[in-house]
Every structure is written in structure tokens, then in C-alpha cells.
Amino acid sequence: MQHRLLPLSLAVSAALLLAACASGPQQPAQQAQTLPPAMNKLLGAQEAAGLSRAEGLRRIAARSGLSVEELQQQPSRLEPIAQDLLARFERDTQALITSAQASGQPEAMALALPLLDAPGRFYAWTQFADMAQAPFSTSHITAVTAAAPGTQGQQRGSLEHEVPFSGPEVKAANATPTDLAARYAMSDPSLGHGQQVARVVTAAAQCPQLLVDGRPQPMQVRAPAVRGVASNSAAQTGDKRQTIGADFELLTCEATLPPAAQVVGVGGQRLALRPPQAQINRVVVVGDTGCRVQGPNAFGSGKPGAPLQDCSDESDWPWRRIARAAASFNPDLIIHNGDIHYREGLPKGTEPGQPQPNEARVAAYMDTITYGWKSWEADFFRPAGALLAAAPWAITRGNHELCDRAGAGWYRFLDYRRFPAQEPQYSPDYDAAICSNATDPLLVRLGDLQLILMDVGGLADAPGRGRNQGWTNGDHLRTARQLTAVARDGTTQSASVSWLVTHKPLFAFYSGGPKVTSSTWQFQKALQPGVESFGAGNGELPANLQMVHSGHIHGWMMISHPAQTGLPTQYLIGNSGQALEGFHFGARGDKPYQAAAPEAQANDIATQDRRWPWHDAPWSFRLPNGVMAQPDAFSSSPVIDAGSKNAHSEEFGFVVFDRITGSSNWTARMFDPQRQLLRTCTTEGKRTRCEAPAK
């Protein structure tokens, strides 16, 4: 057998750790009793490396999701959430120690119980990805054709004059018969197949080593540390033609994990895994988690905008508390349906009713208002805490992670394909070869469940040209072809059920203008039957599609259709931190600020029943038989301040899906940031009914 010499740092660490594990930390026994045995060994490793006990506790607290004060309490006196987090971190630490001991390699123990990085210098997680998949979609509109007036032939059009193209206010109703007859030539999409990938963001100069079943495994650089990446300055200056530099000071690393791996750790953090083909029994779903800071003008100053969300107040932005509560459920899988980054630009000025200008209100976190790392850390990584390593993640991109916004960070940290050949960055003229708003789906087989991640963040909510860079009226055709490819894929067809994860919903109700609308125009157009055209995508949904998980609208909804429609349940979960939206009429129209306040839930509703809170909302979805689909059950958060411009839903939270034993049916429980139950839904087949908890 050939023996490798250990690097000096690892050799010294291993020697110190062997002594620390043998004797434990040199502290009075009364102090050490508050930590469970494995965590006590981890603390001993910190002290053996020269840290004070206080600093060691601080670093362990950051990894475990607990506070230093909680670590110093007797476990039996902790609140239930803290008890669950403590128990999980103890199990994970002991698993790393046991795996390292079983390997018999001195360097393994050094990797299991290393000197922990200071908070803010290291983040680690697992997610599903396909590192062989092209980073941008292979499906492109290659030509537009239209029937020539008065002839039977075809006249080739121009992509520069894609119809209808009359500016941002154009409506589908203005399209001419020739417009609607337009046909599109497209290339086909590619499908990725997800594997578990470990990712790390580190302040170190080199990627760390993984500990895989007691043996070291290298990680590779996904994206180097870099400064001055071009980003959109519109939220800072109001001018999208200007660019501003964004700094990504930390290194991003990754490694595809062996399918048979049992215990994986990095930097003293155990990473969650799902064994191949293992059945998923518990799923946590979150969405729209970032803190809204959008400029360049304050709300109410005569320019479009939204009220400033106070990122320093956890009652106003509760993402950290939501993540902590969600981690305590020990899920098998975490789904995030997008809109992760929100700190885009300082809204300068004073909002109505505020005693201070926004410049003073955000002074404590001014440096996090950027498209660079500081914002990504503040909006997502740091508050995610223990949830980051609690289970593998399945993440899809929101419209806030498109290329004219936080696209550079999305591709660097969370995208589920290989990193693009060129550094993704913003271009005022949208260079799709460097940063694309079109990516192809990822399929993840989890036992009897097929998970489908789709990027629809750039699709238009309502008729007309979208404002996102690179958006076209033909983008529904790409979505249609992607859905059809997914529906016909063998791994999808062999699953008992499939779930579709998108940022924008397939079904939803929303208001904010003079009418309540479905807010799903282009996504639904992808499924309209007919020849591929401006009016129809002719896409297919998987026959076994049970649920669609989405966000985009900042609140909670469940929408279910009659069984004969064959349509999936829509779960809209966009209430995990971002400022909640109103579900009320806007300032315009005959009845300004008329509330569309719903009941908490309503089941088995006749189509024409006036109890529908959005009875008059137009629905654009037409089934293949020509019948307009109408739901028969919904659930939504209550609305407070109904009837005023301040109307908004009141429930921040997350949802825990638990499999009903012996079936492919699910119970969904929505919890608030304190882990208090808000409502329970049951999905049997494709139909769902919800009930409020008994009072």
C-alpha cells in the first residue's frame, strides 16, 4: 500500500484533534455539560486550534442555527425549535466523527472536526443539478413566418419585427389576423437529469476537501472570486444603459457526489443526502424570501415603486425565523421557487407617513444593497442558517434572478447547470451568449416522484410585451416544447406522480390594477391547443402531474380544479419573507381599493357561486375540448385593511408536505415563523381541499 504524506497543516490538526477527542476540552465539567457529546468534541477541536471558548461557541452557533445563549442552556430548557436544531446538529456531528473513525485515516478526523471558519466566511449545501447540461437553453426561435395576404404561400418574417411589436402597451386584442397566423421555427430543448451536488462558498483561496464516507474528495472551482462584474444600475440611477460593478469576493466550489455516498461533510458541516431511489416523505417549500429594497425613488414620490421593507426588523422581514423553523422539521427535500435576491437599489427620499428618509432607514445595511455577494449573503445565505444544510435543495430561478437583475449571482451560486464559459454579467443590449434568460428543465427522480424544475421567470404575466430583457411574444413556444419534452420523457412517465416547480404560477388570482386577473397569461398560452403560433403553444402537461409549486405573487394560495379537467393542484407559496401583497383592487377603476378579501378556504364551489372572492376574474385557460377550466376549491391568506390602499395578506410562512402513508397523496401544513399551524390541506390524486385549524 502506498502512503501519502499529510500536508503539515492537516498533520498538526490531526494530532491536536486526537488529543482533544481523547481528553475533551480543558474546561470545568459544569461548563461542558450544556453541550451534547459530539458537539463538545467539536468545541474541544476549536480550543485545541487556539480559539477561546467564547469564539468556539460563536462559530458552532452559526453552523447549528442556534444562538450562543441557547448553546449555554440545558437542552431540556430550550424552546421546541431549538431542541430540534440541537438534536439534528448533534446527530450530524456524531455521524462525521463515526465515519472518520471507521476510515482509520488520521486526516479524516481533521476534516470531521476542523477549525470552523468564522461566520460569513463559509457556506455549504447540497442541491440537485446536472453539471453536464448546457447552461443556457438549446431551444431558440430561429425564424418567424406568416401567411402572405391573398396567397396560399408562406412569407418569412423577421425576428426584429416579431408580431405584435408595438411597444410595451400592446395588447393581444390588438393583434391582426396576420399577426395571429404567425408561425415560429424553433430548435429543441435539452433535459437535464439531476444528481446531488455539493456546493461551497468560501473566503479561502482554494476549495476545501469533502469528507465522503471517511475519505477525502476534492472540490472544483465553479466560479472564481471576482470584482467589478457589470450589473444594471437602473435601480440605483434610473438609467438601465449605465452599468455598475458588483463584487463577488468569495470563491464558489462544487463536486458531484457519488450516488452511493452515505455520510458527507465539508468544513465540519455534514451535508444532507438522499439515497438513490429513496422515497421522499417530507418536503419543505419556501418562496419569495428576499428583502424588498428597490429604487431609485421612494414609494409615493410620484414614481413607480414599492414601500421599503425593513431588513433589520424580523417582524417585517422574517426569512431567518422561517428558515430556522423549517429546518427543525428535518425534511427530506427543500424546494425554493425563486425570487431570492431583492436588495437592488436604494429608494431615495421619504415615504408617506415615515419620519425619516430612506437613506437613514437603511443606513445599517447600506452596503448590502448591491447585486454582488454582500447582498446575496444578507438576503439568502446568512439568514438561511441551519436550513442550508438540512436537506438537498431543488431551486428554480425567479424573475429577480434574470440577467437584468441578479443573474450573475444566480449562475454563480444556485443554477442547476454547469457554470457558463464566460462570466455572466449584465449588458444593456442583452447578450444571450453571456447571460441568458432562457434555460432548460431539470428532471429529478426521487423514488416514485418525478420533480421538474422549470425556468419561467421571464414569461409575461399579462398580454403585451414584457419588460424583462430578451423577452419575446414567442417565448411561450419554448416553454411549450419544454413541457412536451418533459411529459414524454420516460423517467416522467414511469413515476407515480410528478411535481412541477416554477417561479411564476400556472394558475393564480392577483390584483393590483383595476381588475383581478389570473397573472398567468403567457404560461397558460404555452398549453393552448393548436398549431404553434402567437396564440397557441400546443404544449403538453405530464399525465401524472399532481401539483405545481410556484411563488411570484407574495402570499399563499391553493387552487384545485374538478377531477374531470385532469389539471394539477396549484400551490402558490410566495410568503416566506418578501413584503406581502394585497390581493385588492388598485387605485384606478370605478371602485378604487375595493377589497377582494377571501375567506381562508372554500371547497366544492359551484362555478357561478358568488362566494368566489374573485368571481369576475377572467380566465384564459382553455382545455383541449374547448371548455374553459374553472376551479372548484381554493385557499388563501386573509386580508387585513381590506378596502384601503394598505390592504395586504397577513401570513408569512412556509409549507411542510408529508406523504400519506402507503400512497402518493400528501398532507400540506402551512406554518408561520413561530411554527404555529395556519391551515392544513390534503391532496388526493390531483384534487386538494384545505381546512383551518380548530380554534
The pLDDT value recorded for residue 33 is: 55
Q: In what order do the strands lie in the sheet with 183-186?
A: 154-156, 141-147, 183-186
Span 471-518, pLDDT tens digits: 777 889 999 999 999 999 999 999 999 999 999 999 887 655 545 556
Cα–Cα distance for residue pair 170/403, rounded to 1 Å: 24
Nearest to 526 by CA among 620, 429, 423, 431: 620
pLDDT at 448: 97
- 494-518 as b/e, with b when 16 or more CB fall inside 10 Å? ebebbbbbbbbbbbbbbbbeeebbb
- Which alpha helices (H) appear in 295-385, and where do they start and end? 319-327, 358-361, 373-376, 382-384
The whole-number pLDDT of residue 649 equals 76
Contact present, 234 and 218 (Cβ < 8 Å):
no
pLDDT band with cut points at 50, 70 and 90 for residue 174: low
- If you average pLDDT over each of 244-258, 530-544, 554-568, which comes out highest? 244-258
Q: How far is CA 261 from CA 98, 196, 212, 331, 449, in A?
A: 15, 10, 7, 19, 21
The one-letter amino acid at 111: L
Whole-angstrom distance, CA of residue 105 vs CA of residue 6: 10
Whether the per-residue pLDDT at 157 is higher than 60: the answer is no
| pLDDT for residue 231 is more than 70 | yes
Whether 15 shows a pLDDT value over 60: the answer reads: no
| pLDDT for res 539 | 94
Q: Is the pLDDT of residue 3 over 60?
A: no
Q: What secondary structure letter does DSSP report for 343? A: B
Q: For 581, left (φ over 0), alpha (ψ -120 to 50), or beta?
A: beta
Summarize pLDDT for 241-277 with one digit per residue, the tens.
999 999 999 999 999 999 999 999 999 999 999 998 8
pLDDT band at 642 (very low <50, low <70, confident <90, very high): low
Element (H, E) at 669: strand 666-671
Q: How far apart are CA 127 and CA 451, in angstroms?
A: 13
Supply the pLDDT for residue 635. Answer: 86
Question: Is a pLDDT exceeding 50 seen at residue 24?
Answer: no
- Per the CB < 8 A criterion, the answer to whether 253 and 412 are in contact is no
| 3-state DSSP assignment of residue 443 | strand
Q: Is the pLDDT of residue 613 over 80?
A: no
The answer to whether 304 and 679 have CB atoms below 8 angstroms apart is no
More confident site: 648 or 194: 194
Output the pLDDT for position 302. 66
Are 305 and 315 within 8 A, CB to CB? no
The pLDDT of residue 146: 62
Over 60: is that where the pLDDT of 166 sits? no
pLDDT band at 466 (very low <50, low <70, confident <90, very high): low
Comparing 612 with 475, the larger pLDDT belongs to 475
Backbone φ/ψ region at 593: left (φ over 0), alpha (ψ -120 to 50), beta: left
Per the CB < 8 A criterion, the answer to whether 555 and 678 are in contact is no
What per-residue confidence (pLDDT) applies to 106? 83
Percent of the chain with pLDDT over 70: 80
| pTM (two decimals) | 0.91
Mean pLDDT of 331-346: 97
- Compute and round to an integer the Cα radius of gyration of the chain: 26
Q: Does residue 376 have a pLDDT over 80?
A: yes
From the number of C-beta atoms within 10 Å of its C-beta (0-12, 13-18, 19+), residue 485 rates as: buried
Mean pLDDT of 642-663: 86
416 close to 129: Cβ distance less than 8 angstroms? yes
pLDDT at 26: 44
66, 43 Cβ separation under 8 angstroms: no
The pLDDT of residue 527 is above 70: yes
Interatomic CA distance for residues 192 and 416, integer angstroms: 9
What's the CA gap between 281 and 263, in Å, rounded?
Answer: 20
- CB burial of residue 106 (10 Å; 0-12, 13-18, 19+): middle
As a whole number of Å, the end-to-end CA separation of the chain is 68
Q: What integer best gives the mean pLDDT of the chain?
A: 86
**pLDDT, tens digit, for every residue of 287-328?**
999 999 998 988 887 666 678 999 999 999 999 999 999 999
> Does 227 have pLDDT greater than 50?
yes
Per-residue pLDDT tens digits for 103-140: 998 899 999 999 999 999 999 999 999 999 999 999 98
Find residue 218's DSSP bridge partners. Answer: 209
User: What confidence score (pLDDT) does residue 11 get?
Assistant: 38
Per-residue pLDDT of 91-109, as tens digits, reads 999 999 999 999 998 899 9
Beta strand pairing call for 192-193 and 442-446: parallel
- State the DSSP code for 348: B
Res 7: pLDDT: 37
Tens of pLDDT, residue by residue over 186-224, are 899 999 999 999 999 999 999 999 999 999 999 999 999
pLDDT bin (cut points 50, 70, 90) of residue 180 is: low
Residue 301 pLDDT:
74
Directed axis angle between helix 53-64 and helix 37-48, to 10°?
130
Question: What values do phi and psi take at 368, rounded to 5?
Answer: -95, 0
Predicted local confidence at residue 37, as pLDDT? 97
